[in-house]
Amino acid sequence: MAQIIKGDEIAKTITDKIKDEISNLDVKPKLAVVLVGEDFASEAYVRGKVKAGKRVGIEVDIVRFEQEVSEEKVIDVIKQLNSDEKVDGIIVQLPLPEHFDVAKIVNEISVEKDVDGFTYYNAGRLFRGNPLLSPCTPQGAMYMLEAMNVEISGKHAVVVGRSNLVGQPLARMLTAADATVTLCHSKTKNLKNITSQADILIVAIGQSRYITADYVKEGAIILDVGISRDEHNKLSGDVDFDNVFDKVSMISPVPKGVGPLTVAMLLHNTLKAYKGELCG
């Protein structure tokens, strides 16, 4: 029987601290969210960010564009937000419509306001072991392991999924924490063979309940970063929770797992940007 990692409770310990700190500030931090088009999931994520911001005292402004807007228009607005002293953090909600060059847009964000940590500059800093602002989901996953007192050093951590937003930065963070890291992806051969050697298995592939008991080692620690809807429109993760539950020692559920920590880390990064704690 596994211990269930309560992401919502861990996130609350972070956001309570942020709320306390902000209550002593005269000028409140401000986050700008650039939202293009009407992606259903993005709308829900952004609503969550606004609500979480409200709870801690961070003002979240949504800058909306219709689906057909040009890249130039969005870039103009990002430039205005960069030079607006009242704005501490800027994120561009992904995905963007297909006619957008995502890297071109994201790299317009000033590095000190890049609270998603998606610019090449911030990615480079992370990969050279001197991070400034780091991506929120991998940061949240690392925080979760720390909160659960998981010893990382010397452990075999397997990450499934090599996205720029999650898998790759997470593999880098685990390496920095002295894990031996294997990064698996859609072309990996004998995936089961590798994942079943993992002391810590983190899955971020967006495929509902892909990881079953035969993919995991007895007593492994599992973080499930995936979120999708199953055939009954129910939220589900990349791990078949019920199927692996008796075999593993610890597992994060979906929902109320890594998700709340992503939002908590966004607020954390925004406060950090506000305070200008971005030395180096």
Catalytic residue annotation: 49, 93, 116
Amino acid at position 49, single letter = K
Find where tokens 């650039």 sit.
34
Helices (H), the chain: 7-23, 40-56, 71-83, 102-106, 120-127, 136-147, 167-176, 191-195, 241-244, 258-275
Under 8 Å between Cβ of 164 and 170? no
Which region among 63-71, 90-98, 122-130, 195-203 touches ligand GUN (by CB under 6 A)?
A: 90-98
Q: What is the DSSP letter of 247?
A: T
Least distance (Å) from ligand GUN to the CB of residue 218?
A: 32
Least distance (Å) from ligand GUN to the CB of residue 228?
A: 12
Which region among 76-84, 85-93, 197-205, 220-228 touches ligand GUN (by CB under 6 A)?
A: 85-93
**Interface with ligand GUN includes 115 (CB under 6 A)?**
no
**Interface with ligand GUN includes 116 (CB under 6 A)?**
yes
> Would you say 250 or 271 has its CB closer to ligand GUN?
271
Residue in 69, 94, 177, 213 binding ligand GUN, rule: CB under 6 A: 94
Residue in 5, 136, 239, 244 binding ligand GUN, rule: CB under 6 A: 136
Which region among 73-81, 87-95, 184-192, 236-244 touches ligand GUN (by CB under 6 A)?
A: 87-95
Residue in 14, 58, 74, 92 binding ligand GUN, rule: CB under 6 A: 92
3-state secondary structure of 129: coil
State the CB neighbour count (10 A cutoff) for residue 31. 26
> Would you say 168 or 262 has its CB closer to ligand GUN?
262
Residue in 15, 93, 182, 195 binding ligand GUN, rule: CB under 6 A: 93
Instruction: Show the site string, 42-71: x = touches ligand GUN by CB under 6 A, - = not.
Output: ---x--------------------------
Find where tokens 């930065």 sit.
169
Under 8 Å between Cβ of 81 and 32? yes
3-state secondary structure of 113: helix
Rounded Cα distance between 11 and 28, Å, is 21
* Chain residue whose CB lies nearest ligand GUN: 94
Least distance (Å) from ligand GUN to the CB of residue 116?
A: 5
Amino acid at position 72, single letter = E
What's the angle, vertex CA 6, arms to CA 33 and CA 240, rounded to 5?
A: 95
Least distance (Å) from ligand GUN to the CB of residue 166?
A: 8
> Would you say 71 or 245 has its CB closer to ligand GUN?
71
Under 8 Å between Cβ of 186 and 151? no
Q: In what order do the strands lie in the sheet with 30-36?
A: 59-65, 30-36, 89-92
Under 8 Å between Cβ of 117 and 140? no
Residue in 5, 91, 201, 202 binding ligand GUN, rule: CB under 6 A: 91
Alpha-carbon separation of residue 6 from 3, 184, 230 (angstroms): 9, 26, 22
Please count the residues of this chain forming the interface with ligand GUN, following the rule CB under 6 A: 9
**Interface with ligand GUN includes 134 (CB under 6 A)?**
no
| Residue ranges that bind ligand GUN, judged by CB under 6 A | 45, 91-94, 116, 136-137, 262
